[in-house]
Amino acid sequence: MFGIFDGHGGHACAQAVSERLFYYVAVSLMSHQTLEHMEGAMESMKPLLPILHWLKHPGDSIYKDVTSVHLDHLRVYWQELLDLHMEMGLSIEEALMYSFQRLDSDISLEIQAPLEDEVTRNLSLQVAFSGATACMAHVDGIHLHVANAGDCRAILGVQEDNGMWSCLPLTRDHNAWNQAELSRLKREHPESEDRTIIMEDRLLGVLIPCRAFGDVQLKWSKELQRSVLERGFNTEALNIYQFTPPHYYTPPYLTAEPEVTYHRLRPQDKFLVLASDGLWDMLSNEDVVRLVVGHLTEADQHKTDLAQRPANLGLMQSLLLQRKASGLHEADQNAATRLIRHAIGNNEYGEMEAERLAAMLTLPEDLARMYRDDITVTVVYFNSESIGAYYKGG
């Protein structure tokens, strides 16, 4: 599983969703027997076997204090799944759909429940009142599912037999420029709101993505928002933005329900790029494929250069001079870094400018937002030989 989580109104919701969503998906896909084992371990207070194997940088989660609350809610979810008495668990598409919506529901309920601990309470409030879009990929052999809620995006880099590269989009942005999304919003609200549901290309004039986790100020009734915030929270210290948009008549206006796409991987599907909207605002799908292919070609060339020639100082010097002459910096260690470098360093002609890149990276935090969005990118490479072997019955 791979995921991109793009926060707005603070980092709290994106952080929470990035750490919790995969657990909900994993539990949704477990067999009845596995869920019974887990429930038995909890009841007899035995240690629970790890549900996920994380591939992430070492470093403690800032959410350590409240993991027990999160586990309690995950357990309620798997107890409900047990009550359904399904032997094999949900299908992948169902698991993704339910997991997105169930986690969002839990985020909303956690702050409505009375919490004794002030740290937990404050954090739950920040998570619920900030928001996050999410795009998640689940790969199982040749079966690729992508679930998307918001304006992150997933594309495949495809190389045809003749060597030509193309791009296959796997998601649609959920925003005001998506006609299907506009129609959905209009169907879900009275005709009298047709003119106010999207204003200045934003949901209720406030939010660009039309699907997201959190953001309870676009989901709860005004009365519920008031009753929760009146419980003595220091909203100013917690940086909670209290604001009810005009024309707020028939909430919820926002959903975390994802759109799920299935793709059967083929040998020509070489890589998957998942990225937040900050990348797609600056580079087209085709630009992104071209840059990843360029990175792969350079990496192969670099290996060939070193393999074919004896590595002596004179050679190294000449290679460095060649690179300097061609205007290249030290080669990026990975394709995602290369994409971000070009997204923020390219000029209006699509050329990389070192001065522009340096300026963009050194802007003070409060100014940076005016010039560039936050950008997160993951590039996933597929093993064409393994995929080919599957089709040959290997």
Cβ contact 262:145 at 8 Å? yes
Return the structure tokens found at 30: 């477990």
Rounded mean pLDDT, 217-233: 90
pLDDT surpassing 80 at residue 303: no
Rounded mean pLDDT, 263-289: 97
**What is the pLDDT, as a whole number, of residue 275?**
98
Cβ contact 3:125 at 8 Å? no
Q: Which of 19-23, 50-54, 320-324 is most confident?
A: 19-23
**What is the pLDDT, as a whole number, of residue 283?**
96
Residue type at 279 in one-letter notation:
L
Cβ contact 156:232 at 8 Å? no
- Taking alpha carbons only, the member of 162, 385, 154, 175 closest to residue 289 is 154
pLDDT surpassing 50 at residue 153: yes
Query: For 328-374, how does the pLDDT look when each residue is reduced to its tens digit (9 = 90+)?
Result: 556 788 999 999 999 999 988 888 898 999 999 999 988 888 888 88
Cβ contact 213:174 at 8 Å? no
Distance between start and end Cα atoms, the chain: 24
Rounded mean pLDDT, 243-270: 95
Query: For 163-192, how does the pLDDT look when each residue is reduced to its tens digit (9 = 90+)?
Result: 999 999 999 999 999 999 999 999 999 999
For tokens 């990276």, name the residue. Answer: 361
In the β-sheet with 165-169, what is the strand arrangement from edge to edge? 165-169, 153-159, 269-275, 377-381
Cα-Cα-Cα-Cα dihedral sign, residues 339, 345, 347, 353:
negative
Return the structure tokens found at 157: 């880099």
**What is the pLDDT, as a whole number, of residue 319?**
67
d(CA 97, CA 342): 34
Rounded mean pLDDT, 295-323: 70
**What is the pLDDT, as a whole number, of residue 114?**
79
pLDDT surpassing 90 at residue 201: yes
Which of the two residues, 304 and 227, has the higher pLDDT score? 227
Phi and psi, residue 315, nearest 5° = -65, -45
Buried b or exposed e, range 85-104, using 16+ CB within 10 angstroms: eeeebbebeebbbbbbbbbb
Cβ contact 132:7 at 8 Å? yes
Give residue 213's pLDDT band: very low, low, confident or very high (50, 70, 90): very high
Query: For 31-76, how does the pLDDT look when each residue is reduced to its tens digit (9 = 90+)?
Result: 999 999 999 999 999 988 888 888 766 655 554 444 678 889 999 9
Which of the two residues, 374 and 242, has the higher pLDDT score? 374
Name beta bridge partners: 207: 203
Return the structure tokens found at 272: 């998957």
pLDDT surpassing 90 at residue 116: no
Cα-Cα-Cα-Cα dihedral sign, residues 368, 370, 371, 377:
positive
**What is the pLDDT, as a whole number, of residue 65?**
44
**What is the pLDDT, as a whole number, of residue 372?**
85
Tell me the pTM.
0.90
- Taking alpha carbons only, the member of 392, 377, 385, 378 closest to residue 268 is 385
d(CA 230, CA 226): 6
d(CA 223, CA 161): 60
Return the structure tokens found at 320: 């460095």
**What is the pLDDT, as a whole number, of residue 64?**
45
